[in-house]
Amino acid sequence: MRSPRDFFKPKVVGAPEPLREIPVLPSRMIHFFDPSNPKMAVKVPDIAKTVDIMLGNLEDAVPIDRKEAAREGLVQIGKNVDFGNTQFWTRVNSLDSPWFLDDLIRLVGEIGDKLDVIMLPKIQGAWDIHFADQLLAQLEAKYGVKKPLMIHAILETALGVANVDEIANASPRMQGMSLGPADLAASRRMKTTRVGGGHPDYVVRTDPDPKNPDAPRPTAQQDLWHYTMAKMVDACASVGALPFYGPFGDIADLVACEDQFRNAYLMGCVGAWSLHPNQIAIAKRVFSPKADEVAWAKRVVE
């Protein structure tokens, strides 16, 4: 086990010193875009002005034959776009993929000082974070990156959920975690009707009426993600990292999207993913503090 005294020391000579606290920045939505899609890429400067986090996606939804184009597209966007106060993130390919190493080498080498956070998919345990942590330190030192790149883990496998506390404590780079309901549902053999949604048969039913036991009994659909979200929020809160809800895949159902985002907000999440511009306003509305909450916080500080 690594000595606690060494936890906040650079792992490689020449790498930047790890942060002792996670920067608290507006993070209501992580807005995804495909850098390999020219129509999306040209909209990045304008969309960046409307969101808290812009994330160039290299993993799922990018076809295999477009992986290199997405990587190079992200490099060019990173070099040419002024993101201002908007955070600039990327989701790289999974650690066991043939693209992960090239993703990190190319991105850290070319735009390491522009990127804020590297999102890592399909994290299984602390060992995955340790590997990425060491590799990032090597690349930061090699390319002279001045600030440490943070790591954001996606919780999307049963093993990852089982190891969530160890993942949260694995490195001072841990910026936070996101719930990844699509792959997690597959990992668990869950039955859902859409990404980030539930199932109409997952219900709680009222007790029978003693006076009329054969009468129909009302039911209410329950949230399949409550347990996992609570575990993730606890793990993040215990180390000062930030928990996020992931994607709500049905971009046409804005009502259900807002409901799911609000459930996450009420449980302690600071933001969610937006996969389409029509989800940006929902995330802003749900994850922004109310006026009375701001007033109360000011009174506490004063």
116-162: per-residue pLDDT in tens?
Answer: 999 999 999 999 999 999 999 999 999 999 999 999 999 999 999 99
Dmax (CA) of the chain: 77
SS3 (DSSP) at 193: coil
Q: For residue 302, what pLDDT band results from cuts at 50, 70 and 90?
A: confident
What contacts 90, CB < 8 A, 6 or more positions away?
Answer: 55, 56, 57, 58, 74, 103, 107, 115, 117, 118, 119
User: Could you tell me if 184 and 158 are in contact, meaning their C-beta atoms sit under 8 angstroms apart?
Assistant: yes
Output the pLDDT for position 194: 77
Q: Tell me what pLDDT residue 37 has.
A: 93
pTM tops 0.85: yes
pLDDT at 201 (0 to 100) = 82
Of 49-53, 203-207, 258-262, least confident by mean pLDDT is 203-207
pLDDT tens digits, 25-76: 999 999 999 999 999 999 999 999 999 999 999 998 899 999 999 999 999 9
Region of 84 please: left (phi>0), alpha (psi -120 to 50) or beta. left
> Is the Cβ–Cβ distance between 244 and 273 less than 8 Å?
yes
Tens-digit pLDDT profile for residues 214-235: 999 988 888 888 999 999 999 9
Q: What is the pLDDT of residue 180?
A: 92
Structural domains in the chain, CATH included, are: 4-301 (3.20.20.60)
Q: Considering the chain, what is the average pLDDT of its residues?
A: 94
Query: Residue 84 has what pLDDT?
Result: 95
280-287 vs 254-267: helix axis angle to the nearest 10? 30
Question: Taking the CA atoms of the chain, what radius of gyration do you get in angstroms?
Answer: 21
What b/e string do you get for 220-256 counting C-beta neighbours within 10 Å, with b at 16 or more?
eeeebbeebbebbbebbeebebbbbbbbbbbeeeeee
- Please state, in angstroms and rounded to a whole number, the distance separating the CA atoms of residues 15 and 90: 20
Q: Is the pLDDT of residue 277 over 90?
A: yes
pLDDT reported for residue 1? 64
Q: Give the burial string for 77-114 (b: 16+ CB within 10 Å, else e).
A: bbeebebeebbbbbbbbbbebebbeebbebbbebbbeb
